[in-house]
Amino acid sequence: MSLSLAQRVYDAAHLTGTFLLRSGATSSEYFDKYGFEADTVLLKDIAEKLATKITGDYHALAGLEIDGIPIATMLSQITGTPTLFIRKTEKEYGTCRYAERGEVKDRRLLIVEDVVTSGGAILDGVHTLRADDAIINDVVCVIDRQSGGRENLEKEDLSLTSLLTIDQLKQA
C-alpha cells in the first residue's frame, strides 16, 4: 500500500518538542521543511501536486530565501515558469541585489513558500517587492499551519493556496 502525500510529508517533517516559531509563538510540534525539501523524490511529488493548484498566469515564481527556494526551483522545472530568488536583504557584494535572476518591476509574481504560520516572512518579502512595483496577488505553500497566516495575508490582498493544512497532516 502506498502512503498518501500528506503521510509522506508528515513522516519526513514532523517533529515534537518545544519550538520557538518565527512568529514568536511556542509550539509543541514543528514541521521541519528540510525533511521534505532534502528528499528529491518527495520534493518532486510535492511540486507536481502543487503545480496543479496554480491557476494564474505569472511572469515568474518568487522563492523566498531560503525556505521557498527549493520548492520554487522544482516547481519551475515542472511548470516551465522562470524562478526569482528573493533574499531577505540586498546582497552586500557582487550584484548587490535582493531579487536574483530577473527584474520585478511590472511583473506578475507568484510567491512560493514552504510553511506558513503567521505569514510574516511572506509579508516582508511582498512589501519589498511591491515597493519595486512587482504585481503580487497570490502565494502558494506546502503547509498552512492554520495559525493566522491566511488571514494576515488576506489583509494585504494576498490569496494563499496551500497544498496541505496542519489538520490534513494530523489526519494522515
Under the phi-then-psi rule, with left for phi > 0, alpha for psi from -120 to 50, and beta for the rest, what region is 102? left
Q: Which pLDDT score, from 0 to 100, does residue 56 have?
A: 85
Q: How far apart are CA 110 and CA 141, in angstroms?
A: 10
Q: Which pLDDT score, from 0 to 100, does residue 1 have?
A: 40
Q: Which residue has the cell 506558513?
A: 116
Q: Which three cell numbers stand for residue 89?
A: 536583504
Q: What is the pLDDT of residues 69-97, one digit of tens each?
A: 999 999 999 999 999 898 876 666 666 57
What's the whole-model pTM score? 0.90
Number of domains in the chain: 1
Give CA angle at 78 (75, 80), nearest 5°: 95
Q: What is the pLDDT of residues 41-68, one digit of tens each?
A: 999 999 999 999 998 899 999 999 888 9
CATH number at residue 25: 3.40.50.2020
27 lies in which domain range?
Answer: 5-171
